[in-house]
Structure 1
């Protein structure tokens, strides 16, 4: 009986809101084709995959490729680099769009606000090849960085070739390219806040800063938690293009991550099973992190993804 009533309710809901369901179809099709169907290919992580034999006839080898990964002399280094860069991305890059959205919301001149937003959005549409090229140019011997150092009588340095600088350059380029784009969701969430809440705060004598701190930010927390959980799911996926284009032979010790390692040892050498095994390992770590922090989120704030 309950099942029948639920089915009727679903049919009624679809008939009533059919334009929304139609709009959702392209997104659903995208995830089915490019996300769910390819998951079936994960089976080759447990095979000695051959493009000539296919998945059905390739030899089954169990956890061989996982053992190769964990026993590799480079595993500790690439795993540590991945964790460090992932932590920096979550701890430093993630909060920047939140701060930008809060401050942009306080800009009252519409023209000025749109100008700032446009300037912040533009880098997102540049490829990492271009972003890395700009970074190499800025930090070259004749670039802006060393020109400024020369004004103060300091010796020029090749910052892009120094191990201690690579991770911070990774963070700064990530902020420059994506922080502005990340404000879109937060600004949309802020625009949905009831204006009467701010009016009541003004009557109580709250300043603009206190309104931002005690009204806007707390009401943004559910959105922040959802996006944080989604970012945690990609904790091990730092962006191959981003890291690969910034790497130099002298920064491999601190910048070589799982994705770049797989590209060199898996894709370029046609070791597809090994590359899939590493990708599956990354996905499992991300899945575990999402489960843990989703449970914490539900206990702390009653929110979460499910």
Structure 2
């Protein structure tokens, strides 16, 4: 009896050992198969480590009275004094409001455009026309905002703008597009959409190609026209991509980007165009108040983290979360 039990235990032990050995072999084989992919990932990891994570050490300046002579570590510690000074500034509330308003408008107005553009491009059947249209809508992405800003100012300038010259010929008067707050916001949003919508549509076009063509054939046989096919097949098919990009977009709600705002703003519309990036440039680069602007940057990053977390939690309720 004891001999039988011992033999059974030995058999189970040998089976478990063999199973563990097979798992180790599979893991080793899988590791060797993925070596080329890991080698390709090394430059990406180095980029993020050097240019994204290493500079985060400088966030300690937000809690110090930084000076170039003393350096980061030798500068005196002031705790939350920079944050208190920052939010005691009467202009700060207006700057944060401008940033939130422009960011939300950019998200609400600009986010759907690449989706619509991708769907329309997908429906084009003439190959030559599709290629020409794709090239024309992708091209602005590769232009610097200095060039795009110059083009916008040339078009909407009060004295020499082409749009105002056309208005004067047709209606007999000129309109200060760049010196009126509402029209400036429209120009700001429109120029951003024109520059980035085409390139952003590439992601949605890639998602559309993954949809089973048989769904469109079945819908067509059932009598569904193009609009119904887009509404009931295309949009649901790219919904996961839409949700992921929407979550990622909410992270930048406090970071509009410096280039576009700086190129288009002027003193007349400064009440609406003065935002956190321009404030940080003015106070940090021009004014030399590095600790103050670091505190502002840290505050913006924390708000972005909260926004992306809330968006992800909302998406999780619909099984479309990012993590």
Q: TM-score, length-normalised on structure 1?
A: 0.94
User: What RMSD over aligned residues (CA atoms) do the two structures have, in Å?
Assistant: 2.0
Q: Is the 8 A contact 1:14 1:21 kept in 2?
A: no
Q: How many residues align?
A: 304
CA 1:38–1:6 in structure 2 vs 1: closer, same or farther (change >3 Å)?
farther
CA distance in 1, matches of 2:176, 2:22: 69
Aligned pair partner of 2:123 in 94, 106, 124: 106
5+ long unaligned stretches in structure 2: 1-15
Q: Deviations along 1:251-302, whole A, 9 cap, x unmatched?
A: 1011000110111122211111111111111000010001111000000x20
Q: Is the 8 A contact 1:121 1:180 kept in 2?
A: yes
- Residue 7 of structure 1, CA deviation: 8.1
Q: Is the 8 A contact 1:166 1:254 kept in 2?
A: no
Q: Deviations along 1:12-32, whole A, 9 cap, x unmatched?
A: 433223333333222222111
CA distance in 1, matches of 2:160, 2:27: 65
**For residue 221 of structure 1, what is the aligned residue in structure 2?**
239
Matched, 1:238 2:256: yes
CA distance in 2, matches of 1:79, 1:10: 51
Aligned pair partner of 1:85 in 102, 106, 118: 102
CA distance in 1, matches of 2:28, 2:183: 58
CA distance in 2, matches of 1:228, 1:183: 14
- Residue 147 of structure 1, CA deviation: 1.7
Q: Is the 8 A contact 1:266 1:272 kept in 2?
A: yes
5+ long unaligned stretches in structure 1: none
**For residue 203 of structure 1, what is the aligned residue in structure 2?**
221
Q: Is the 8 A contact 1:232 1:289 kept in 2?
A: yes
Q: TM-score, length-normalised on structure 2?
A: 0.89
Q: Deviations along 1:16-55, whole A, 9 cap, x unmatched?
A: 2333333322222211111111112111111111222222
- Runs of 4+ in structure 1 over 6 Å off: 4-9
- Residue 10 of structure 1, CA deviation: 5.6
Q: SS of the residue aligned with 1:108?
A: coil
Largest Rg, 1 or 2? 2
User: Which structure is higher in RCO with an 8 Å CA cutoff and minimum separation 6?
Assistant: 1
